[in-house]
Structure 1
Amino acid sequence: MSEIECQVTQITPLTDTVYKVELAPAFPVSFKAGQYVLVHMGENDKRPFSIANAAWDNDRIELHIGADEGNAYATEVLQRMREDGAIRLSGGHGEAYLQPNGQPIVLIAGGTGFSYTWSILQEYLHSDHRAPVTLYWGGRHSEDLYLNDELTALANEHEHFTYVPVVEFARDEWNGRTGWVHHAVIADHTDFSAMQVYVAGRFEMAKVVREDLTPRGMQKDRLFGDAFAFI
């Protein structure tokens, strides 16, 4: 897959540690919602980031990059983008893209894994599919759910979309669900035999989701996530 030269058009903070990066590729990028790009830092240094925009919106690339002080892997990418104003990448990569089959869809995101589900959700709501889709987004604190207001508005706009934010360490002002995000999923659904589930987050989270959903009827060919290619 050939490299694509992209101009960095904007880097915007979404939280204290998460940044929205908007890229203008030299030509529209062909990808499927839920795929990722590899940012080419060197010949043998290519770093994956989920594409956050929908596949129909492919004359740009949007990334959500979590880059705190302890994450040199992502911080170095942001630094290169700021300094050079351009970056090379390739994509789309990955097999965990949106594959609707008429069954209800559950999207599970932890932290910046949300960018994966955001691409899928936008693509799905733009389509003619009307099976129910539910997004569960988990963060350590409420401010980590940086598109909470936009998602709430989308849920009000689309009757087949349900949004469930989950905060692990809730403060007094939080009135929503608390704890681990996949526990909220299990609390709401007892049978996954007729569902599709898309999951993005740390490998440890993906592993636990698979272990907990399988006894509840989850079919292997209907559970999607890039992590499952490695665990």
Structure 2
Amino acid sequence: MSVLRCQLSSMKALTPNVYRVELSPSAPVVFHAGQYLQVVMGENDKRPFSIASMPAEQARLELHIGAEPGNTYASEVIERLQADGEISVEAPLGVAQYRADSARPMILLAGGTGFSYTWSILQQHLASTDPRPVMMFWGARQLDDLYMHEQLLQLERLHENFSYRPVLENPPAEWAGDRGLVHHAVLEAFGKQLADFDVYIAGRFEMVRVVRDEFEQHGLPREQLYGDALSFI
């Protein structure tokens, strides 16, 4: 792990509350898909965000920051970047990275901007020659919150080993996809075969806790469930 100064390369609002932030670090960052960094706001104030970019892009760090109203934890980072144009980070961190040496198919389970963790892993897997199937389940309140929905549909068309299932809690009337909680869609599809998969998960701590407990009840070994939140719950 190193402490690096990063320049803000770009910031784009993907939704009214989600920003894609691209940083240029002062030195290349060697990391694994699925690791994270901490934005240093103060000596005792370090805020973690998943790295959404691929490990091959060592001179570029991409973050997806959800700064909903009232979420000062994230919005203060956005405001600091907008004001200063640079920030210090600690990177890389985390042990829930992509397991390229596994032979098991993969389930990527994301809630909200937890997608950024799974996005790095997905890109790394699809860029490899590994033919293992990978299934992306992305849960959100409404369709507009799935800020890379069209890109994932395109990837699904391009890669035979990739399937994408968006899950909406408040879908429009014409929605033909999955409804409700994202982990329920996983259980509906693979509940009896979970032990055959590696599962990567990111989202709010309370969601990760529920998923951990329910998936274990359905036979998923703890060592086949990956997510940095698991170290804190």
Q: Which amino acid aligns with 1:207?
A: R
| RMSD (Å), alpha carbons | 0.9
Structure 1 stretch 55-64 or stretch 113-122: which is displaced more?
55-64
Map 1:131-210 → 2, pairs under 5 A? 131-189=132-190, 190-210=192-212
Question: Does structure 1 conserve the Cα–Cα contact (< 8 Å) formed by 2:109 and 2:200?
Answer: yes
The residue aligned with 2:228 is 226
Question: Does structure 1 conserve the Cα–Cα contact (< 8 Å) formed by 2:2 and 2:92?
Answer: no
Query: TM-score by structure 1 length?
Result: 0.98
Q: Which amino acid aligns with 2:181?
A: W
The residue aligned with 2:25 is 25
Segments of structure 1 that go 5 or more residues without pairing to the other structure are none
Map 1:69-84 → 2, pairs under 5 A? 69-84=69-84
Between the aligned partners of 2:75 and 2:112, the Cα distance in structure 1 is 16
1:142-175 CA-to-partner distances (Å, cap 9, x unmatched) read 0000100000000110000000001011112422
Percent identity for Structure 1 against Structure 2:
49
Displacement of 1:2 after TM fit? 2.8
SS in 1 for 2:20: strand
1:6-25 CA-to-partner distances (Å, cap 9, x unmatched) read 11011100001000001111
The reply to whether residue 90 of structure 1 matches residue 64 of structure 2 is no
Between the aligned partners of 1:30 and 1:209, the Cα distance in structure 2 is 30
Query: TM-score by structure 2 length?
Result: 0.97
SS in 2 for 1:7: strand
The residue aligned with 2:127 is 126
Counterpart of 1:217 (choices 208, 216, 219) is: 219
SS in 1 for 2:196: coil
Q: Which amino acid aligns with 2:22?
A: E
The residue aligned with 1:62 is 62
The residue aligned with 2:115 is 114
SS in 2 for 1:210: helix
Structure 1 stretch 24-33 or stretch 137-146: which is displaced more?
24-33
1:72-125 CA-to-partner distances (Å, cap 9, x unmatched) read 011110100011001110111011110130110000000000000000000111
Question: Does structure 1 conserve the Cα–Cα contact (< 8 Å) formed by 2:18 and 2:64?
Answer: yes
Question: Does structure 2 conserve the Cα–Cα contact (< 8 Å) formed by 1:39 and 1:46?
Answer: yes
Question: Does structure 2 conserve the Cα–Cα contact (< 8 Å) formed by 1:102 and 1:129?
Answer: no
Segments of structure 2 that go 5 or more residues without pairing to the other structure are none
Give the ranges of 4+ consecutive aligned residues of structure 1 lying more than 4 Å apart after TM superposition.
Answer: none
Q: Which amino acid aligns with 2:138?
A: W
Displacement of 1:213 after TM fit? 1.1
Between the aligned partners of 1:89 and 1:171, the Cα distance in structure 2 is 39
Aligned length: 231
SS in 2 for 1:3: strand
